[in-house]
Each structure stands twice: as structure tokens, then as C-alpha cells.
Amino acid sequence: MTVGTVKLKIDNVEVAVPEGTTILEAAKSNGIDIPTLCNLEGLSGYGGCRLCMVEIHGSPKLFAACVTPVGMGMEVITQSDKLREYRKMAIQFILSERTHICAVCVANNACELQKLANDLGVDHVMFEREWTRLPVDSTHDFLVLDRNRCILCTRCLRVCDEIEGVHTLDLKMRGKDAQVIIDLDEDWANSSSCTSCRKCAKVCPVGAIYVESVALEETKDKGIAEFVLSRRNRK
Amino acid sequence: MTSTSKVRVATVWLSGCSGCHMSFLDQDEALIDLAQQIQLVYSPIMDVKVFPENVDVTLIEGAVANEDQEELLKFARERTKILISLGDCAVTGNVPGLRNGITNSADAVLKRAFVETADMNPQIPTDVPTLLPKALPLHEVVKVDFYIPGCPPPADLINWVISRLMRGLPVNMEGRSKFG
């Protein structure tokens, strides 16, 4: 079956993309930038961070561009005062959920959350901050999991499952209480499935999973999932 | 310009490392221009005991961590037109706020600092201000008008915000300062 072409407007620009493309992919392939945190090329869509919210003409609701497929004749707005306000609020929700103390974080100045907050002009958090202290797992030989810095974007889970193919990482609990766990909530040192591939550290947008004693700028590699997939799909 | 027509500015140091004040002083030659326009009426770098009345702009560094600081902050708020949160401790709680995740944090940190790690005369001092249960960002205690995040905020950014405010221009922080 051939894949049809869908025509739509993004920020008043007419674009044509293959059927089944998400709004985020359609925008990106036409040079329109939409901020994202949980989305990563090569991994499945998650729609958890709500940073990529867009307006669709005719609907009062906002849509997560990373998990909303394009539709024929759709008119999408990716930048507006309303969207900027909601994106700022989404960042503040994320910042208020954990004790994000940048001054003592390994990801300071190499953090996607920090950069987005800066780009959007977030200068304080209007919500009362949650100060609950969560366990840090530093039992692995060189990988560290600091749940206090985690923003629950699940990039690490998805890269571990979909790219490395071992599904060592997962979540327990729900909502803001959710926590990344190793195997069935074991210490990382006791994990029987972890291959120590470091992909989780490479895709973590903040400082929640990192390699000990290695500069974060050298560790992070947002393109790792896409790269592995492209190698796997070689003909 | 006479001193009476100058903008009356105060700076306050709560629970912080004074790095934000260092950054304020780091404006270098811009301080000379600033000095022509402002009258510093209260600051840890000068000897004034009581926070004065009719202050136009107050920059406050540090989190609110004890009862004296809470009282001073409320007093400063009453007497100030524009109150600015200066730096991450004031804006987020930052390092002083790290104790907030500990149960009974005030007692726990005092015990750790003055008893468990003391070589001689381990005892918790009684003649200092009582710690609050949590070290809080300023805006969780009083209304804050503007925020200058950073640890510390860059000197140029402090100068930019103050200069804009004195000229009555809007202060939009988009792309200007890293949060945290």
C-alpha cells in the first residue's frame, strides 16, 4: 500500500508530508522549531513533558506535537503568547517536582531543562517546591542514578528497551512520585540485565543518569538512538 | 543631580555565600555610572544598623533560613517599592535549601555542625537566631517584584536589570540568564 501525502499549514506555511507523520516531524522537516524535552529521534513518542504543545485551528485544546499525527487541511500554530505561557508553566511544574539544585548538579550548563528554562525566560518557580529526598543509586561501577534530578522523561527507559533491547530500566509508582528503577527495583550493581552500554547516560537531558568522573559534555549524545537505528537498518 | 533625587537602593544578605554581592561589585566601571544615579542606603558592605524607610529598590541575596532573616525580609518588603530576588538561593532556595529534604532539618543540621563534628565543647549554640524548619526562597515568604537567577548572577545581568528598571523599561529574562 502506498503512503499518501498530507497537506497542512504550520505557522501559515503550507507543507506536504507523508501520511502518519507527527506534527513535530512535519514541523522539523520544514525548518520549524518546536521545543521538546522527552522527545528524541529514534525513540518512540511519549508525550510526557508537554513542551511541544501546539494549537490546532478549530480546537480549544492544545496538542502534544510529538504524538499527534498530521491531518489533511490542518492548521497548526507552534508559537503564540498562549503557548509560551503554557510552556513556561510546564517547565515550572517539572522544576517544582524535584529538588533541582543546579549549583550542585553535574549537568549545570549542560542541561536541556536548564537551557529551555532560560530560552523561555523562566526566572522563578511559581509553585511551591517539593523537597522530598529520593535515593541515589551509585552502586554501579561507573553509572550513577540520581532520582532527585530526574524529570521522568523516560528517554533512558526507551533507549534501554528499544535500542539496547534489554529493558533494564523502568518506572515504579505514579505521577510525580514515579521513580526510575533498575530491574525489579534492585541496586544497579545487582542488575543481571544491564549491559553497561551507557546509552541511558547519553540520552538523559538532565543530570539524573551520568558516568562518574567523565565530563557530561563528553557523555551526552542525543543522536545515539537515531545512530544505532540507522546502523541497524543498513541494507 | 543632588543626592535627594537619586534612586534609593538597598542590598540585603540572608543565607547565601555573598557571591551575589561579589557579582554586584563585579560590575567594575559600570558601578561608577551607577553610583551617579543611586544612593546606597543599606547594605552588608556599609555600616547601617536599621533598614531605612522609603527605599526604591532592594536587592536581596540568600534564602530565608532563620527567624531574624524572615523578620528582616518582611521589614524590607514593607519599606521597599521594588524588591528583587538576587541569585539562586533567593530565587530557589538552592544550597541552603538542600537541608529541606531532611526530617527535622533544623535540629539535624545544628547537631551535625556543632555536636557530631566538633573536636571540642560539642554544644548547640543558644544565642543565635532560631532556624526555620525549611530554608525558603523569598517569594514563598513575601511578594517579590523581579528575579535575577544565577549562582551567582552575572554582573552584566545585574547591571542590565537595574538599568532597565531605573529607565522604567520592561525586564524580559528570555535567553538572558540560566535558571539555576
Q: If pLDDT is split at 50, 70 and 90, which confidence band does B5 have?
A: confident
Rounded-to-integer distance, Cα A48 and Cα A193, Å:
26
**Shortest Cα distance from A10 to chain B (angstroms)?**
24
Check A124 against B139: CB less than 8 A apart. Answer: yes
Kindly report, residue by residue over A137-159, the tens digit of the pLDDT: 999 999 999 999 999 999 999 99
Kindly report, residue by residue over A13-69, the tens digit of the pLDDT: 999 999 999 999 999 999 999 999 999 999 999 999 999 999 999 999 999 999 999
Q: Which of A104, A123, A131 sits opposite B147 (nearest CB)?
A: A123
Q: If pLDDT is split at 50, 70 and 90, which confidence band does A181 have?
A: very high
Q: Phi, psi at residue A76, to the nearest 5°?
A: -105, 135
Question: What's the burial of B88, exposed, middle or buried (CB within 10 Å: 0-12/13-18/19+)?
Answer: buried
The pLDDT value given to residue A226? 94
Q: Which of A100, A128, A131 sits opposite B180 (nearest CB)?
A: A100
Q: Which residues of chain B from 93 to 122 reach within 8 Å of chain A, CB to CB?
A: 93-95, 97-98, 100-102
The pLDDT value given to residue B1? 45
The pLDDT value given to residue B179? 75
Q: If pLDDT is split at 50, 70 and 90, which confidence band does A2 have?
A: low
Kindly report, residue by residue over B113-125, the tens digit of the pLDDT: 999 999 999 999 9
Rounded-to-integer distance, Cα B176 and Cα B149, Å:
10
Rounded-to-integer distance, Cα A49 and Cα B63, Å:
29
The pLDDT value given to residue A1? 52
The pLDDT value given to residue A163? 97
